[in-house]
Structure 1
């Protein structure tokens, strides 16, 4: 009894028991700490992996040549330009771009809207270049290719030898320049078609607004039609007409958002070394949703002589205005002359009307002979003239779709005789009903009444062509 009591109250035994308890507690704390570190590390690794995965997905959505470099955080202009490389057969550009657009200062607040616009299209095909790079591409703007109201076009060259055309926009009116700049980048920058000029990139800076396009050494179609220096076989002109129609059809019917060009004319059709046509100059172009039947206009667009009547009057505007302009272009391709020539006799001065008069009298073959079209090409030339007459119908609804125009030119569908597209010019007042407008007064009413059957027939016949095309 006394021995057990002594043992229970021995101080050494109590100390030993406390030490054992402390050791057990410490071991659990160490184990818990290790488990916490392992779990925390695993969580961090999972988060990093998720971030990397997201970045990879974002990067894959950006064209290869527009992806941001992660291995070099700082790249000088010279190094940046030297990294530009391309496949000369396809002209695909691979380039290392700065990780972000320049930060705007208080003095640049005026351009906040345009900068936001640039941010929105940062993942599209065009690349943003710096003013120093543009100066390097053009050898300090040493060779002028052309100039106009928009600005000056210079010949340039990428470090890999690919030639480019650099359009430097004027800064007389900042608002107009920004509108033209946004129109070109947001439209042609979203397209990829053999019959559309390619936009490689752009520069938007306080000191420079520029657009960098592929260089087409043969210039524009008007040089071949009216210059007298280049002789082109009619068969090649037929191919140019079909290629141009395919490019416009792509803009109207195959893009995610319909693109209306508004300025189709020979000067805006560029030719590559093989004389393949490429629609260019999208400074007046506009994107529109497919569910919208009409477009709201802000100011006049187009070139007199090619612009559809509804562009110059307060009538609804649709993509059919490009069809009208293309029709006017077809007349000039067919005749290899300008539509209006004041040096000719009065009946021959305006080629579109003269073509209608000859067609109406059954004398198209005589017109082909006057235009010096060879006998073997006259069937296709007559077909082209009939397509042109359909395209320039006064009523937009009577004009065919551009995809239908392509098939008509290629001979894929039969062309029914078109109605008189210029009847509204022969009346005492314009045919407002043909454009969806209204008229008042007895004279206007009688004019609309007399012309209405013609346009009703035109709309019905066009509908029949579309049905035949789709069947």
Structure 2
């Protein structure tokens, strides 16, 4: 009764709030007068105001001023306040309040955007000739509270500084200005990068991700992280990237735009002219932009016709309007058996990323056999390089392109009983990134000519009746929620179909683990049990300890983690968020953790396996650090969190729910406590220095030294099954051995794990030990990035 009384007092409270006088404003623009209620720059180069984007739908935006006879919808928009939440064409306003805040109100009721500023002084909103909208103290240009240049959307204007705290996000299409899939930003290693952040996967594609920074002509040795396009046509970045436009030196109207097709272009035009022309672009290979044609499709580029998309043989297009959705198989792909599969030869075709592994010196038959043994293998790439043949089994066919210049081929896995053939893909001229339809917001409004008292009574009755209905609805939902557990919801089903990532009921996980009876591991985050799911997959099911994390925050994080896809990261198959229960479902690893193998099964870890574990772990961490929009720090790299599959391929685990940050946030204040495990923690944690990806690099170096020496990082006690011995702490001991070594190989022999005896490659051992010592440097800027580590180890790996 007490709850019901509280609920039904709610309408009265809302009514009182409804009668409350709104904040008065000192300046206001009305959407219903959008043609005249505008802010114009001194020379009329730019205009700010309500910009129509569909039927009864508006943005508050800044655009290059159109001549009076030109259609406003064709104007070049350079900034939008509410790109993902357009407002209605009635009663929407932009107001400068007397409190110092600028708010954008939708239909007179909902605030959809604000500058979040406050001031006791009179303020003014001014559009400068540079295109910068500035909120400043009246008649005082030195007292700026807010400016649009600090919050770019998809465009940089000349003189606008691009920093570590900003990013450019593409539009969804030429006419749909909502946020798209492509991002320009500075990463944690101070490099300017382009990233595709699609619905299910994300990946960095510029500069070439196969190159380390110096090979791409970039420098990581800077901390300013700034870039700018000047008025003469030169774009320069602090990482040594430069772009000079074809019309450099001429003062023109210019803009640098993160386009909807994933390329960054500089556009120029003469004052007063309507046609822009491309005077420079970042990426010179349009088909190597990730995600442009979607999964299971190929991109081809014709110098005359331009870029085109086509589906793989045996696949058909998902959407006629949106190529980014890619293609779907015309057959049932449920783990084709060896006898049911065949391989179709696709010459000159490449699919970047999402390899099950990298296998050197494999014959074609060995590569084919490997793919047939893997349920998830959709085909494999086979090519010759560095004098040997290389095999790349694919778990997904993404980022595909065809080029006669590409030395290599794809062998596509298809059902044997269906005859598909491959010719040069038929070019499709409909390369559309999304639907261009406008958006209409449906709202009900009262006619302004009605009698005031009648209008008041109608409004009061509508509000009161609506609130009463909402209250009854909330009570009904509460009662239903008490009786119904929220297991297989539609959203979870759609996500499961798209990615294989699904939502489980707590009861089915309890059944899968036989009442959580077989414990296989535990840590600070929770307890892990072995289980068998209803589809006979063996899973590792982690029951998280009780935490203060809400359901929405938990679901947001696991949905992102479910999109991660790398052969050296543990695969998360799903989750459970039911009541107080928070459970994660992972693939099961046959050979347990690296820690278990070092302590009790070190003889099984021969040198080849150890080197491959170091390389694979580096690749997995490089993916987390550099190929995701969120900056993922593991914060607890240790042998217990490196799992080994049936073939001793490493999988980094427990990266989920560790720390997701925006790449431009390097403020360690968001870390409420020290994270990690003693012995593997970087000095930054102890001295409260800014936390970056280099904390994982340090921990990785410790793990590698343990693999090489078979010793504990803390005590120096032998942890592998050899003769137990005691030494000083691991890192100083290895450094001393290297310092005192008279020959290049002698110091390596002194630190090698006795369990290896002499069965290791001396050169690989020295390279790995040297890299590990660089990773554990006290100064974080002296440590390499994980991508650099992976490249160095791969270049020194001997043929298998």
Q: Say which of 639, 642, 657 aligns to 1:269.
A: 642
CA drift of 1:310 comes to 0.6
* 1:306 to partner: Cα distance: 0.6
Name the stretch that deviates more: 152-161 or 357-366. Answer: 357-366
Rg larger in structure:
1
Question: Using a 3 Å threshold, how does the CA distance of structure 1 residues 343 and 319 change in structure 2: closer, same or farther?
Answer: closer
Which one has a larger percent helix, Structure 1 or Structure 2? Answer: 1
Distance 1:180 1:241 in 2: 33
Distance 1:91 1:185 in 2: 25
**Hey, what's the Cα distance between the residues in 2 that align with 1:183 and 1:389?**
37
Q: How far, CA to CA, are the matches of 2:512 and 2:725 in structure 1? A: 50
CA deviation after TM superposition for structure 1 residue 399, in Å:
0.9
Q: Which moved more, 1:137-146 or 1:340-349?
A: 340-349
Q: Tell me by how many angstroms 1:366 deviates.
A: 3.7
Q: Residue 400 of structure 1: CA displacement?
A: 0.8
The answer to whether the aligner puts 1:197 opposite 2:570 as a matched pair is yes
Give 1:358 shift: 1.4
Structure 2 partner of 1:403 = 787
Q: Give the 3-state SS of the residue equivalent to 2:605 in structure 1.
A: coil
Question: Which sections of structure 1, spanning at least 5 residues, go unmatched?
Answer: 1-59, 64-84, 93-102, 110-114, 414-471
User: Distance between the aligned counterparts of 1:225 and 1:346, measured in 2?
Assistant: 15
- What is the CA-CA distance between 1:360 and the residue it aligns to? 1.5
Q: Deviation string for 1:267-294 (max 9, x for gaps)?
A: 0000000000000012552222233445
Query: CA shift at 1:108, angstroms?
Result: 8.6
Following superposition, the deviation at residue 179 of structure 1 comes to 11
**Cα shift readout 1:375-406 (whole Å, capped 9, x = no counterpart):** 65121111111101111111111111111001
The alpha-carbon distance between structure 1 residues 399 and 206, as it changes in their structure 2 partners (threshold 3 A), is same
- Aligned residue runs from structure 1 range 4-403, under 5 A: 87=335, 89-90=375-376, 105=478, 123=495, 125=499, 126-171=501-546, 174-175=547-548, 181=554, 185=558, 188-228=561-601, 230-282=603-655, 285-295=658-668, 296-341=670-715, 348-363=727-742, 365-371=746-752, 372=754, 373=756, 374=758, 376-403=760-787
- CA gap 1:157/1:255 in 2 versus in 1, 3 angstroms: same
- 2:619–2:786 Cα contact (<8 Å) kept: yes
Post-superposition shift, 1:230? 4.9
- Structural RMSD (CA): 3.8
**For the residues of structure 2 that align with 1:388 and 1:121, how far apart are their CA atoms?**
44
- Counterpart CA distance in 1 for 2:653 and 2:734 is 28
Q: Structure 2: how far apart are the matches of 1:265 and 1:164?
A: 22
Note closer, same or farther for the CA distance 1:358–1:121 as it changes in structure 2 (3 Å cut): farther
Q: Displacement of 1:370 after TM fit?
A: 4.9
* TM-score, structure 1 normalization: 0.59
Aligned residues: 315
Change (3 A) 1:238 1:203: same
- Counterpart for residue 33 of structure 1: none
Secondary structure of 2:711's match?
coil
**Distance of 2:552 and 2:730 partners within structure 1:** 34
SS in 1 for 2:643: strand
Further displaced range: 343-352 or 204-213: 343-352
- Between stretches 341-350 and 134-143, larger displacement belongs to 341-350
1-structure distance, mates of 2:581, 2:639: 29
| 1:348 counterpart SS class | coil
In structure 2, the residue corresponding to 1:360 is in which secondary structure?
A: helix
- Measure, in 2, the Cα distance between the counterparts of 1:304 and 1:283: 20
SS in 2 for 1:166: strand
Structure 1 pair 393–346 and aligned structure 2 pair: CA distance change class (3 A): farther
Change over 3 Å in CA distance of 1:361–1:205 after alignment to 2: same
**What is the rounded CA distance, in whole Å, between the counterparts of 2:521 and 2:553 in structure 1?**
18
How far, CA to CA, are the matches of 1:179 and 1:230 in structure 2?
46
| Structure with greater strand percent | 2
Q: CA deviation at 1:136?
A: 2.9
Q: Displacement of 1:134 after TM fit?
A: 1.5
Structure 2 residue aligned with 1:13: none
Other structure's SS at 1:201 match: strand
Decide whether the 8 Å contact of 2:613 with 2:649 is kept in 1: yes
SS, match of residue 562 in structure 2 = helix
Question: What TM-score do you get using the length of structure 2 for normalisation?
Answer: 0.36
In structure 2, the CA distance between the partners of 1:108 and 1:211, relative to structure 1 (3 Å rule), is same
Q: Distance in 2 between matches of 1:261 and 1:356?
A: 26
2:681·2:699 contact (CA, 8 Å) conserved in 1?
yes
Please report how far the alpha carbon of residue 61 of structure 1 lies from its aligned counterpart in structure 2 after TM superposition.
6.2
Inter-CA distance 314–260: structure 2 relative to 1 (3 Å threshold): same
SS in 2 for 1:200: strand
Q: 1:178 to 1:394 in 2, by over 3 A?
A: farther
Whole-angstrom CA distance in 2 between matches of 1:167 and 1:317:
27
Query: Quick one: structure 1 residues 314 and 376, their matched pair in 2 at CA, closer, same or farther if it must change by over 3 Å?
Result: closer
CA contact (8 A) 2:748 2:765 kept: no
Deviation at 1:232, TM superposition (A): 1.3
Distance between the aligned counterparts of 1:267 and 1:410, measured in 2? 24
Q: Are residues 299 and 119 of structure 1, via their aligned partners in 2, closer, same or farther at CA, if it must alter by over 3 Å?
A: farther
Cα separation, 1, equivalents of 2:740 and 2:632? 38
Change (3 A) 1:177 1:331: farther
Alpha-carbon distance in structure 2 between the residues aligned to 1:122 and 1:352 = 49
Whole-Å Cα distance in 1 between the matches of residues 784 and 675 of structure 2?
Answer: 21
* Structure 2 CA distance for aligned equivalents of residues 392 and 147 of structure 1: 27
Deviation of 1:184 (Å)? 6.2
Query: Which has the higher relative contact order, 1 or 2, with Cα contacts under 8 A spaced 6 or more apart?
Result: 1
Separation in structure 1 between the aligned mates of residue 568 and residue 507 of structure 2, nearest angstrom: 31
Q: Which residue of 2 aligns with 1:21?
A: none
Q: Go from structure 1 to structure 2 and tell me whether the alpha carbon gap of 1:280 and 1:184 turns closer, same or farther (over 3 Å shift).
A: farther
- Which residue in the other structure is 1:442 paired with? none
